[in-house]
Chain A
Amino acid sequence: MSLESISEGRGKKLNILVCVKQVPDTKIIKVNPKTNTLDRSSAPAILNPYDAHAVQEAVRLKEIHGGKVTVLSMGPPQAKEAIKKCVEIGADEGFLISDRRFAGADTLATSYALYKAVQKLMKQDGGIDLILCGKHAIDGDTGQTGPGIARRLLIPPLTNVIKVAEVNLEDRKIQVHRKIEDGYELIESAIPCLLTVEKEINEVEYSPLPNMLKAARYTPIVWTVDDLEDVDIKQLGLKGSPTIVGKMWPPAKSEGAQILAGDSREQVREAVSIMLQQRELFKVKGGERV
């Protein structure tokens, strides 16, 4: 796949594809103490929070530049709910690729399957200018899928984006702020490219009523492996995944805090003396702490 073909014949509007994942709400999920596996049924499934921001950003860009927002997800049939949520936020259309043969995919196999679906979508829609992903999915926390898709499409990945500063459709260029440890970079990239977004990028707004109504009636389009073209089955699902999970165990439980005794002042005095034992933290040099 060449870079040109991904955006061939593109006009002056933005076609944006957002990859979204349905994830268990990790706040509620329980671990089965006997098997040390996750009891997924214990947790409600939600749209990955970062992906909600990605959809919101796509909708915002569409409002400025015109175009279309399509979402793509890989997952079990229930993942349709996550896509409907995206329609609520303002996406125009949603596709779910769902098939037993996708199951058990790690990030390499996931990016392959999504890449195959992107190729098919490009043919249908005549091109995609931007692909948006979340910074990471909160179940795996890897953040590897987005850059993986970009590499397969041979387009630049711009990760950890906190702001889309400019989209220039004439010159087919985009400028974004990319978060780094001690600040941010202003990067310019040719379009098409792939962005992974941080939460700071926007606020996910309350969905307007028409969107809610549309979402309620909306049925995402579901594709199986057979609907995609030139798929190498060996690269899909568990078979196509170089990584496997060895063992799982619950994280060590700490013994719990030693609750300090006495009234507030006594507790505070004891706490201060405990903390002051870490002397190097409170070193003094010429009247100035360092």
Chain B
Amino acid sequence: MNLDEYRGVWVFNEQRDGELVDVGLELLGAGRELADKLETELCGVLIGHNVKDLAAELFEHGADKVYLIDDPITEQYRTETYMKAAGDLVRKYKPEIFLYGATSNGKDLASAVATEVMTGLTADTTLLDVNVEKRLFEASRPAFGGNIMATILCKKHRPQMATVRPKVMKKPERQPGRTGEVIEETISMREEDLRTKIIDIVRDTKKGVNLEEADIIVAAGKGVKDEKGFKLVEDLATVLNATVGASRDVVEAGICGHDHQVGQTGATVTPKLYIAAGISGAIQHIVGMQNSEMIIAINNDPDAAIFNTAHYGIVGDLFEVLPLLTEEFKKALQEETEEGGVPSHA
């Protein structure tokens, strides 16, 4: 493999129902930095059906080129078709770095493409850099349940690939009017030859389970003891218009559903505010919420590990503290509402 044939930083820009997924735009920001350091181009990869118009958005977020595959066969994500589409592009245009959002589809696709073109892939990265001199991509990620950080390198194979966790990179500022070149390719597959078919997509519109995209999460730990304690968490969440999270022990006790679980074997979340009530702070929980912007912990044990990760701590009995929080917030937000419309000076 002649490594010098490979140039350019690529980003897989996943779309769902014709809408770009945020993490792809975030990766255009991160990819731009890598491309600039390497003095090479940044390219978006857009696959779907009737998605051509989305290219403009990619240019405005920093892409120089967009590789487009637009075909009824790729309307919905399927490993079979997307792997072929992306694999063909890689073989033809030879990128040196290829980034994917660590979504269900992004991870699925990256894994398949890595095997298809026989290259290395680093999963769930949170930190990206590049050794310019060696043109070596440095993809770092938490490993072993978050106990350690590791930088993974792929020295002898190209492209160097990574999936990147959503919300870790900053979405770049939009530059209206910025344009670039669309390179359209076709896919040579026929529906009759495919072995998989999407029969239905069931969107879960039920509020309260989309932890990944929540701005505020109030999370319950085993300290809530039972449904009654859990209700106190829900009450606070209602007042804050927040999503309810939970530790695994709460889920396993049957107090709430698995879709509320935060942590290594649940959701990885990055809200602006995370309130942890009665959570001890086991590493498996921490890895799922440590990137929250502000973490407030309530625990009656002053030595609880959660206080190592939280920014602010309330040492106290959650059965007393939660109702007080709900009450104080109600009051405070009521006042804000009454001031509604008056510009704030804060």
Contacts and interface: CB of A to CB of B under 8 A. Distances in A.
Interface centre among B121, B320, B344 (most CB of A within 10 A): B121
A251 B149 CA distance: 6
Interface string A232-274: 0000000001111111111101101111100011011101101
Q: Give the size category of B's interface with A.
A: 35 or more
Interface string B314-343: 111100110011001100110011011100
A126 interface: no
Nearest to A276: B332
B273 interface: yes
A142 interface: yes
Given A29-B145, A272-B325, A188 B196 contact: yes
A24 interface: yes
B328 A159 contact: no
Contact of B157 (A142, A159, A242, A278): A242
A248 B150 contact: yes
A246 B138 contact: yes
B315 A259 contact: yes
B197 interface: yes
A51 interface: no
Interface residues of A, number: 90
Contacts of A190: 195-196
Interface string A163-188: 00000000000010011111111111
Nearest to A135: B265
Contacts of A277: 346
Nearest to A190: B195
A209 interface: no
Contacts of A271: 296, 312, 314, 325
A188 B144 contact: no
Contacts of A50: 265
Interface stretch (A4-12, A88-96, A281-289): A281-289
A65 interface: no
B155 interface: yes
B148 A38 contact: yes
Given A180-B105, A242-B157, A271-B296, A27 B283 contact: yes
Interface in B136-160: 138, 142-157
Interface stretch (B28-36, B64-72, B210-218): B210-218
Contacts of A245: 150-153
Contact of A272 (B201, B332, B346): B332
Interface stretch (B89-97, B219-227, B302-310): B302-310
Nearest to A279: B346
Contacts of B311: 254, 257-258
B246 interface: no
A221 interface: no
A111 B145 contact: no
B258 interface: yes
Contacts of A200: 258
A197 B79 CA distance: 16
A219 to B, nearest CB: 30
Interface stretch (B41-49, B108-116, B169-177, B183-191): B108-116
Contact of A289 (B114, B241, B325): B241
B321 A264 contact: yes
Contact of A157 (B79, B156, B308): B79
A105 to B, nearest CB: 12
A151 B294 CA distance: 42
B123 A140 contact: yes
A254 B241 contact: no
Closest A-B pairs by Cβ, 10 of them: A26-B145, A242-B120, A257-B313, A147-B111, A243-B120, A142-B123, A246-B151, A151-B115, A257-B310, A183-B204
Given A30-B147, A182-B204, 15 more contacts: A27-B282, A108-B119, A147-B79, A181-B103, A190-B196, A243-B152, A246-B150, A246-B151, A248-B151, A251-B147, A254-B308, A274-B296, A276-B332, A278-B293, A279-B344
